[in-house]
Amino acid sequence: MESDFEQRLGYTFQQRELLRRALTHKSYSHEAKDDAVRHNETFEFLGDSVLGFIVGDLLFHQFPDLDEGALSKMKAFLVSAPSLAKKARGYGMGEVMLLGVGEEKTGGRKKDSLLANLFEAIVAGIYLDGGIEPARQLIERSFLDDIRSIDEQDLLFQDYKTALQELAQGNGLQLPEYNVVAEVGPDHDKTFVIEVKVGSLTARGEGSSKKEAQQQAARLAMREYDARHSSS
């Protein structure tokens, strides 16, 4: 199973103990009651640093004219738990993760938090086994297409909520009120529907997080406001 995983990963470990440790969740280590079985939490710490450095470097070279704030938002989105969990699923990491019985029973192999941490641990394992270059290669394969497809004006990197609030204040309208009207899908792949009300305006947005849905709703409300006033 590990060899199939390494083939998907595009990297073969020379030090097998590093791969095993990268795959070992603390629940498995604790249940083993064997000091020789070490879990991957410190690997997560190291992998987070390596990942952040390389993704930051890729963003810097892709968007050399953007300011620090925009680059930071992009990086935060790319290395967020849902994003890393999606990458982990693509490599089948959850299938080879070593989990304790309790975590196994509660669906640990599908949890975004565990999968995101596992991705970081694998990055650290590769870095410790082969150095920075193979770690960079994995990260580039995983994120470069996403980075190249980013629109600098993308919804995720614009603060429409603040803009809508300023529009309301500047025009004597009530401040925006946001309400969750629906949550669709399983916990690991949920879609939120949020409605915003500003004066006589209402708009609904959808997203994989409440924050994203609120931003979408705010953007649509501003578009509706502009449409009304441009035609009047």
The single-letter code of the amino acid at 189 is D
48 in active site: yes
65 in active site: no
**Cβ-based burial of 26 (10 A; exposed 0-12, middle 13-18, buried ≥19):** middle
As a whole number of angstroms, the distance between CA 182 and CA 185 comes to 10
Main-chain phi, psi angles of 178, to 5 degrees: -110, 135
CB 64 within 8 A of CB 92: no
Helix, strand, coil percentages, rounded to 5, for the chain: 65, 10, 25
**Residue from 44, 112, 120, 212 carrying the catalytic annotation:** 120
For residue 48, give Cα distances in angstroms to 55, 85, 134, 170, 198: 10, 13, 16, 42, 40
**Residue from 44, 48, 112, 195 carrying the catalytic annotation:** 48
**Structure-block tokens of residue 106:** 């509660």
For the annotated catalytic residues, the residue numbers are: 48, 120
